[in-house]
A and B are shown apart, each in its own frame.
Chain A
Amino acid sequence: DGGITQSPKYLFRKEGQNVTLSCEQNLNHDAMYWYRQDPGQGLRLIYYSQIVNDFQKGDIAEGYSVSREKKESFPLTVTSAQKNPTAFYLCASSIEGFSGNTIYFGEGSWLTVV
């Protein structure tokens, strides 16, 4: 089935550690995104990529890094520089950049700092 696969679903991180969240899509979409969702707040954009080997910072990129070496993959690394990383992370993709009617989300990854 076509879709977006995020892993792991739940992840615990010790302070000072880097962790990487995986996002894979088989929809043949050009654009991919990472959002962060906190209680009582809307989704906030961390990074996005409209083509392979190119990506742009979103509103809250500090403490995060990404790569886009393949069209279907857009992993997110949460570095130790991110001071408050506990959140629900959502990966999304679309045929083209920021077309609301074609953006699809993965099931999300829960990251907790312990």
Chain B
Amino acid sequence: QKEVEQDPGPLSVPEGAIVSLNCTYSNSAFQYFMWYRQYSRKGPELLMYTYSSGNKEDGRFTAQVDKSSKYISLFIRDSQPSDSATYLCAMCIKNNDMRFGAGTRLTVKP
């Protein structure tokens, strides 16, 4: 079993839809949870960062962490074609190696 599981998709939605991206993990010691956005042939860029459980909102993006279920989510409201990218979840214990999901490829169609 991988430490971090993420459905690779691909996921295709119409413009304006709400997108839900998810990861599950097995290591209960993870404390920091991140979502990165990666455009084609580019490096990942940090989108959201959450410490421990709870919700965090930034514009159209909301990150949720449920440590009891070992489940994290990223919601994108009013999705735009410019949101089309691969979304990577990542998590770590402070000062230890980050673990990444495989990435979900999202296409938002105009």
In the complex, whether A75 has a CB less than 8 A from a CB of chain B is no
B contact residues vs A (CB 8 Å cutoff): 4, 6, 8, 32-34, 36, 41-46, 49, 88, 90-92, 94-103
Are B43 and A106 within 8 A (Cβ)?
A: yes
Which residues on the A side are within 8 Å of B44 (C-beta)? 43, 90, 105
Please choose the segment from A11-19, A65-73, A96-104 that sits at the chain B interface, where 4 or more of its residues have CB less than 8 A away: A96-104
Are A105 and B102 within 8 A (Cβ)?
A: no
Q: Which residue of A lies closest to B103 (CB)?
A: A42
Give Cα A41–Cα B98 distance, bound, in whole angstroms: 14
Are B99 and A42 within 8 A (Cβ)?
A: yes
Q: How far is the CB of B54 from chain A (nearest CB, A)?
A: 15
Are B88 and A42 within 8 A (Cβ)?
A: yes
Contact digits for A83-113, partner B, Cβ 8 Å, 1 yes 0 no? 0000000101000111111011111101000
Number of interface residues of A (CB under 8 A): 26
In the complex, whether A8 has a CB less than 8 A from a CB of chain B is no
Select one of B43, B100, B103 contacting A107, CB under 8 A: B43
Are A100 and B43 within 8 A (Cβ)?
A: no
Q: Which residue of B lies closest to A58 (CB)?
A: B97
Q: Which residue of B lies closest to A101 (CB)?
A: B49
Are A98 and B43 within 8 A (Cβ)?
A: no
Are A98 and B92 within 8 A (Cβ)?
A: yes
Which residues on the A side are within 8 Å of B36 (C-beta)? 105
